[in-house]
Amino acid sequence: MVRCVTDFGRVHAKRLIQNWILHLAVTMMMPDIPVTTRIIGTDPFRPNTAGMQVFTPVGDAARTCLEDLAALYVYGLKQPWPFFPRPDCCWPGPWRKTCMNWKITL
């Protein structure tokens, strides 16, 4: 199954995180169907061009990812994070290496 999301404006970190969580939730709701999510919007690195972010199927790892995100959310409620929430795609991590590959459409 392919889930397509189109929005006017820049595809920024907040939009990516929201759609990553929805991607994981849809994957858990349909465990026997591989889910791919495509987010289409303005490329944040090249003005006046469209960009597409693709989240590939994660399978059984969806539950672990959601549990990790929930734990980070609870941690953030207890004490402040050591960075600001708007550094747009600057936070390094394993999810960035696997999911943050821009495909530019001219």
Query: Model confidence over 9-66: pLDDT tens digits?
Result: 778 788 888 999 999 999 999 989 999 999 988 876 777 788 888 999 999 899 998 9
Q: How far is CA 92 from the centre of its chain?
A: 13
Q: Which residues contact 59 (CB under 8 A, 6 or more apart)?
A: 27, 34
Query: How far is Cα 57 from Cα 26, in angstroms, rounded to an integer?
Result: 10
Query: Model confidence over 76-102: pLDDT tens digits?
Result: 888 876 655 555 555 444 444 444 443
| Residue 84 confidence (pLDDT) | 54
| Residue 63 confidence (pLDDT) | 92
The torsion angle over the Cα atoms of residues 61, 66, 50 and 56, rounded to 10 degrees, is 10
Predicted confidence (pLDDT) at residue 72 exceeds the cutoff of 50: yes
Q: Which residues contact 19 (CB under 8 A, 6 or more apart)?
A: 5, 37, 39, 53, 55
In the chain, how many domains are there?
Answer: 1
Query: How far is Cα 57 from Cα 35, in angstroms, rounded to an integer?
Result: 5
| Residue 8 confidence (pLDDT) | 75
The parent domain of residue 73 ranges over: 2-105
Compute the average pLDDT of residues 70-76. 86
